Structures are given as C-alpha cells and as structure tokens.
Amino acid sequence: MTASFHDQVIAILPKLRVQALALTRNRSVAEDLVQDTVCNALSAQDSFVMGTNFAAWMHRILRNRFISDLRKKREVANIDDTPQSLLSVSGRHEDRLALKELDAALARLPDDQREALVLGVLEGMSYQELADIAGCAVGTAKSRVFRARRQLEIWLIGEEDDVSGKTGTESASRMSSTRRKTRTARNTTRTAQQTA
Amino acid sequence: MGKSRDTTPSRKPKKKRDKAFDLWLKRGLHQMFDNVVNEPIPEELLKLIQEDREKQD
C-alpha cells in the first residue's frame, strides 16, 4: 500500500526541520519555515505527480520559500541565538567547545554549501538528490559539499589553502584568529582519529 | 597509478586525517541536529495537515 500524500508530508517533517535549520540557523524561524512549506505543499498538492520523488519536491518547496523570504527581509539568520538553542547538548566541556566552534564555522559557510553539507552528511542524500533539491547540476552539488567540508576543515584544523574564494589577506587574518581558537576542535578530531 | 598515489607516504596521514575529520564532523552534526529532529511535531502543524486531509476526502 502506498502512503497518501498527507502521510508522506508527516513522514518528511523531521528532514524538513533539518534543512530549515541548516538554512536559517534559527530554531523559531526554522519552525515557521517548515510550517509555511507545509502550507505551500498542501496548496500545490495537485501539481505533485504521485510516484515521482516526493522528498525532492518538498525540499525544493522549502528551499524556494527560504529564498523568497530572504528576498523579502534580508536578515533571517540570528546567529547569536543559535548556539544556545542549537547546542543544548550534554557532554564534556571540551566537546561542547568543539561543537560551538563547529557551529560558528557552519554559520560562516554560504547557505547553499551549508544546506548541501548537512543534508548530504546527516541525511545521507546523494549528489543527485541534492541537485534535484537545489535545481542545479550534480557536479555543482558535489562541489558544494566538497567545498563546505574542506572549508570547515581549514577553519577548524588549519590548512594552507583556502577554498572559499576569499582574498589571501582576508583568509590569513581569519585563519590566524581561528587557529588560536580551534585547538579544542583539533584535539577532539584527534580523539575521533584514535577511536576510529 | 592510483595505487601508487594512495600509498605515497605523505598521502597516507592526510587520508587518515580526512577520515577522522569526516567522522568528527558527522558526530558533531548529529549532536547539533538530532535533538531538533527528535522533538515532537507541533500539534498545530499536525492539525493543519489533518484538516486538509479531511477536506480532500
């Protein structure tokens, strides 16, 4: 038996939340975005062809809604609000610090790279699925994930070459301050390496 | 050719570090996002979907 349209909407809500949070970086804005997405999807349900990729269709609606909201008011992300709400996890002090640094680094990534990375790594989406959602070529989706991952590695662990496309001076100044702050992340990565 | 590149001494630690970073990144993202994913869906949203379902039936 195939799930009804509405059952599919309910089933995909957790994944929409992840995408919304990756894009907005603000929990309450993300909740609103998911709700607006559901409203849009319900209004447009006649245009969905059963048997086609429902997940991609929903994620695309959310993405388009995010872009449209962003155009309307140019200040969606309230990054200061994010670490407390997003990082309310238990654990060692060092782990929490590393997570905070990861969070800050994620905030600095372009929206499309952050979205691709989170959906790819966390939700295990293929490059094809990411491309379907973003309406871009598979190569572009692949490049977004690669660049995001690489950039995080540079910021958190430190590397010589910067892939963000920023100028050398900008990168160097950012990197030197980041390097000072990210010993924790480096240590945590070492721990992961040892336990891998 | 690919094999010799993979076994180059300078390449090995980098690959190992890449793997470790990937693992750390995945764990970090899970810690950051899992609690959000596992939160219950707001009643209001479920009601909205249910009302639309009834309207369609």
ipTM comes to 0.74
How far the first Cα of chain B sits from its last, in Å, is 62
Q: Residue A175 sits in which domain range?
A: 89-195
C-alpha radius of gyration, chain A, whole number: 18
**CATH number reported for the structural domain that contains residue A63 in this entry:** 1.10.1740.10
Query: Model confidence over A73-126: pLDDT tens digits?
Result: 665 445 444 544 455 555 677 778 888 999 999 999 999 999 999 999 999 999
The 8-class DSSP code of residue A4 comes to P
Max mean pLDDT range (A18-22, A74-78, A154-158)? A18-22
Same domain as A20, residue A110: no
Same domain as A95, residue A12: no
Q: Please report, for chain B, the start and end positions of each structural domain, with discontinuous segments joined by +.
A: 2-56
Query: Model confidence over A117-141: pLDDT tens digits?
Result: 999 999 999 999 999 999 999 999 9
Q: Is residue A82 part of a domain?
A: no
Mutation for testing the B interface, residue in A36, A99, A160 having most B CBs under 10 Å: A99
What's the average model confidence in pLDDT over A49-53?
Answer: 88
Same domain as A114, residue A21: no
Same domain as A109, residue A34: no
Chain B segment 1-57 residues within 8 A of A by beta carbon are 16-33, 35-39, 41-42, 44-46, 48-50, 52-53, 56
Res A195: pLDDT? 60
Domain count, chain A: 2
Q: Give one word for B45, left, alpha or beta, with left for phi > 0 and alpha for psi -120 to 50.
A: alpha
Residue A185's closest chain B neighbor by CA?
Answer: B24
What's the average model confidence in pLDDT over B9-21?
Answer: 73
CB < 8 Å to A6, chain B: 49-50, 52-53, 56
Query: Model confidence over B28-41: pLDDT tens digits?
Result: 999 999 988 888 99
- Dihedral angle at the C-alpha atoms of A68, A70, A73, A79, nearest 10 degrees? 150
A193 → closest Cβ in B16, B30, B41: B16
Q: Is residue A83 part of a domain?
A: no
Same domain as A19, residue A107: no
**CATH number reported for the structural domain that contains residue A113 in this entry:** 1.10.10.10
Amino acid at A93: H
